[in-house]
Structure 1
């Protein structure tokens, strides 16, 4: 038995939406400089930065616990400023059969918004 879900969150950003998109598409290895308390390292494992099917290793901390995942870039849409990552190996896959993160940057009037979408299939449900 599994639980399928989708979480969507919006964050307003100041600054250039194109630079934000560029970081998540081509330069995710710079994220530890932006959020060192959460992201310790992002390294290219296979392929090239900013290309579909590139494989990336991520080391990060959630609630004081260190985690490691392997992620592939599943989709890039330059026009809509969307990058989709598929997590397929590591700590999260121990609890989730599927885990996908989409980062979409858009304008809403004068605001730049980052829309974070997490889709998951949770597999470890025990009913007692």
Structure 2
């Protein structure tokens, strides 16, 4: 059994790529009003839009309330990619590293919407720790909730 790996999912969304991507890097949305799976997302350090900014998250995963912090590592607005690290709270006892990558791509050819691709890179503390599939499930639900919210806005 290996300690490192990647898990990913591609989701079709109706929101244009620019709008979906900017909701993460240019706006401080009230995420708890967007999704029942997120209870709180508060700015811990920085402006929330730049490298080194840290947010504290409280969310439900696998039926339990959990917490972690996220820090932006890389932002590429032109290519609509974002990389952030998850640490502290309920993440650190399981993973030495847990890094999330988001890439948002317009569908093109006059098709409405975009593709949101999420990839989690991880290194587990021990072999008996599960891969972060629950985080991918949470991200999938959150992406669907955020998409529905942005379409109404």
Report the TM-score when normalising by structure 1. Answer: 0.89
User: Which position in structure 2 is the counterpart of 1:33?
Assistant: 33
Q: What is the deviation of 1:20?
A: 0.6
1:124 aligns with 2:126: yes
CA distance in 2, matches of 1:5, 1:27: 31
Say whether the 8 Å CA contact 2:51–2:73 is kept in structure 1. yes
Q: How many residues end up aligned between the 2 structures? A: 125
1:1-128 matches, within 5 Å, as 3-27=3-27, 29-35=29-35, 37-109=36-108, 110=111, 111-126=113-128
Say whether the 8 Å CA contact 1:2–1:123 is kept in structure 2. no
Judging changes above 3 Å, is the alpha-carbon distance between structure 1 residues 108 and 19 closer, same or farther for their aligned structure 2 residues?
A: closer
After superposition, what is the alpha-carbon deviation per residue over 1:20-75, rounded to whole angstroms, capped at 9, x for unaligned?
A: 1011113354322221x211111011111211100110000012111110111111
Say whether the 8 Å CA contact 1:11–1:113 is kept in structure 2. yes
Say whether the 8 Å CA contact 2:68–2:89 is kept in structure 1. yes
Report the TM-score when normalising by structure 2. Answer: 0.75
Structure 1 stretches of at least 4 aligned residues deviating more than 2 Å after TM superposition: 26-31, 107-111
Query: Which one has the bigger helix percentage?
Result: 2
Q: What is the deviation of 1:10?
A: 0.3
Query: Which one has the bigger strand percentage?
Result: 1
5+ residue gaps, structure 2: 129-153
Q: What is the deviation of 1:87?
A: 1.1
Say whether the 8 Å CA contact 1:42–1:57 is kept in structure 2. yes
CA distance in 2, matches of 1:81, 1:3: 29
